[in-house]
Amino acid sequence: MKSKYWVALSSIEQLDSRFIIRLYNYFGDIETAFNAELKDLQNIDGLNIKKSEQFLGLRDKVNPDKALEEVLNRNIFYLTYEDKNYPEMLKNIDNPPAVIYYKGNLSDCNLNKTLAVVGSRKASYHAKEELNKILSEFAGTDICIVSGLAAGIDSQAHLTALENNIKTIGVIASGLDFYYPASNKHLYQRIESGNGAVISEYYPTFEPLKFRFPQRNRIVSGLSYGTLVAEASLKSGALITANLTLEQGRELMCMPGLISNPNTQGIYKLLKNGATLVTCADDILNALGWEIKKENTQIEIPNLNEHELRILQALEIEEKGIDELILLTKLDVESLLSDLTTMELKGIIKQVNGDRYKKV
């Protein structure tokens, strides 16, 4: 079983995927690469004696059978670079992962319609709501949403996918022993329980160290045909992913936001440089040349009385607070609050940001 040598090499923290695949390409066989001697390594261009000796010292401390056993005992699946099921889109990037470890069901995800979604960890309510609106238009389709399972936009992308029967892949910056941030543990578990997969290039015991997050970004964009940036400041991980998207020859798209928000400065910079503007799901489909079959998901609005119709009309364009609704509907406070409660129970409106309401 040659895959154990891939796993063994990836279990050495000092080695990265680029080095492992470099060895594999040189020797043409991963077992031969793992068992190479100093004289063999000296023939590789750019690999000096010191680096070769360091590699051999690290390699000699690893037991391939034990390294693989640790993965299997955790019920973790894996794909190696030479596996026939290794994602083709990912293999085509400059620095593909040597091994992909995952939990969940990766084979259920349509890797021919993958959309990356990235953005600020401190995302605004407006950005999360608009992203939810756009991605919800893909409800029940075979599109797969890829993101980084971070707080903010990432979490919203995964959550919207789960709530709309869309498969999703979370790419994390640590081994699968860790949940980061810890607040997303439940989200990890929901994805792993049949709604997609949580994947990592890191051996299960590797911690979520700072330098691993930008490394993770190349996999998010590399798995995807296009990347949607939902919110990003001028210095952000989302902009790193945007640049990687362009380097990988993939489609870059941006969702506009409030110009007064500092987290949209990166968005407008990307739009000025030619990124595709996205305000609805069709913009994404057009940019990527995708066609999807949409089921008739139109929701029938229950019969409304005169008061409820006034409230719904007032909320047609944007959310409103109690005072605004009183002015627009001409209802007294008691009647208004009673009608709002009834409409919430009917699922027509929902309460947001304290005492504000919006149309569902």
Of 142-151, 167-176, 184-193, 340-349, the one with minimum mean pLDDT is: 340-349
Average pLDDT of the segment spanning 83-108: 96
State pLDDT tens for residues 1-59.
899 999 999 999 999 999 999 999 999 999 999 999 999 998 898 888 999 999 999 99
Structural domain for 334, as ranges: 306-359
**φ and ψ at residue 320, rounded to 5 degrees:** -140, 150
Residue 301, in any domain of the structure: no
State pLDDT tens for residues 187-229.
999 999 989 999 999 999 999 999 999 999 999 999 999 999 9
CB proximity list for 296: less than 8 A, separation 6 or greater: none
How many structural domains does the chain have?
3
Percent pLDDT > 90 in the chain is 74
Are residues 238 and 130 part of one domain? Answer: yes
What is the reported pLDDT for 67? Answer: 98
Q: Report the C-alpha gap between 273 and 269 in whole angstroms.
A: 6
Are residues 354 and 260 part of one domain? Answer: no
Average pLDDT of the segment spanning 287-293: 88
In what helix (H) or strand (E) does residue 10 lie, and over which residues does it extend? helix 3-10
pLDDT band at 293 (very low <50, low <70, confident <90, very high): low
297 pLDDT more than 50: no
Are residues 262 and 316 part of one domain? Answer: no
What is the reported pLDDT for 19? Answer: 95
State pLDDT tens for residues 265-283.
999 999 999 999 999 999 9
Are residues 120 and 30 part of one domain? Answer: no
317 pLDDT more than 80: no
Residue 300, in any domain of the structure: no
| Mean pLDDT, rounded, of the chain | 92
Percent pLDDT > 70 in the chain is 97
Are residues 310 and 284 part of one domain? Answer: no
CB proximity list for 223: less than 8 A, separation 6 or greater: 87, 89, 90, 111, 114, 116, 146, 169, 171
Q: Is the pTM of this model over 0.75?
A: yes
Are residues 310 and 279 part of one domain? Answer: no
* The dihedral formed by the CA atoms of 274, 95, 239 and 277, expressed in degrees to the nearest 10: 30
Residue 227, in any domain of the structure: yes
Average pLDDT of the segment spanning 57-70: 97
